[in-house]
Amino acid sequence: MDIQQCKEKFNISFTNQSLLKQAFTHSSYVNERPNANLHDNERLEFLGDAVLEIAVSDYLYRKHKTMSEGELSKLRANIVCEESLFRFANILHLHEYILLGKGEESTGGRNRQALLADVFEAFLGAIYLDQGMDVSQQFLEKFIFPHIIDDTFSHVMDYKTKLQELIQEERDSFLKYRIVEEKGPSHAKEFHAEVVVNDKESARGIGKSKKEAEQDAAKNMLIKLQN
């Protein structure tokens, strides 16, 4: 692996170079070199898992001020699951630095989801051990957190919450909802809702309940504002 390239890519100055190498050393590589005094990344993976948990919790707590504890927990679970960590590892191209045994390499280990998720956690654990929590948080905020604002992770958060948080970024902004129409028989109602931002921008939505219609209106307003 090219340690220097890795450090330059992520702009991290490791004091202990061996920690960085260990983060990318798979057990299969160590097992094939019993006399080389090498260490695999499993202990660093354990540490990185804990670092990620607290860093993501802190980020979500500060960013989503109106979300409940349950909503925050669901969103965090989506972000720290294996599938997400695999995605992060691919975004960072961490597969380029992994040291694998020949058998693991030949069976496609370099692109295996569980293996790459573990490598991401081990890399974060190495950053924490060498540079501390502040640098670990900075690394995540620069390279990872920008990728967790899209619907891949935020689908557990309702659109009304997302819209509320978006307009709160602008001072003195406000929004209001109203049901503008109801259609159909009582057992199969269709509700039409409207959301208005600052008495200017408006968007409508449709749903089988008032709440569902308001969610749809909020979703359409988000699309409108983001465009």
Mean pLDDT by 10 residues, the chain (227 residues): 80 91 95 91 97 96 82 87 91 94 91 94 97 96 83 62 84 90 85 93 89 88 84
pLDDT the model gives residue 1: 66
Distance CA 171, CA 36 (A): 61
Distance CA 53, CA 47 (A): 10
C-alpha neighbours within 13 Å on the C-beta side of residue 4: 0
Domains of the chain: 3-154 (1.10.1520.10), 159-226 (3.30.160.20)
The set of catalytic residues is: 49, 121
pLDDT the model gives residue 201: 87
pLDDT the model gives residue 203: 95
What pLDDT, in 10s, does the model give residues 112-133?
999 999 999 999 999 999 999 9
Provide the H-helix boundaries in the chain. Answer: 3-10, 17-23, 27-31, 42-63, 69-80, 82-91, 102-106, 113-131, 133-143, 151-154, 159-168, 210-226
Measured at the alpha carbon of residue 6, what is the angle toward residues 137 and 95, in degrees to the nearest 5?
95
Q: If residue 178 lies in a helix (H) or strand (E), which one and from where to where?
A: strand 175-183
pLDDT the model gives residue 96: 93
pLDDT the model gives residue 13: 86
pLDDT the model gives residue 152: 56
Instruction: Yes or no: say if 47 and 75 are a contact pair by the CB < 8 Å rule.
Output: no
pLDDT the model gives residue 122: 98
Distance CA 144, CA 186 (A): 47
The length of the chain is 227
Which residues neighbour 117 within 8 Å (Cβ) at sequence distance 6 or greater?
82, 83, 85, 86, 89
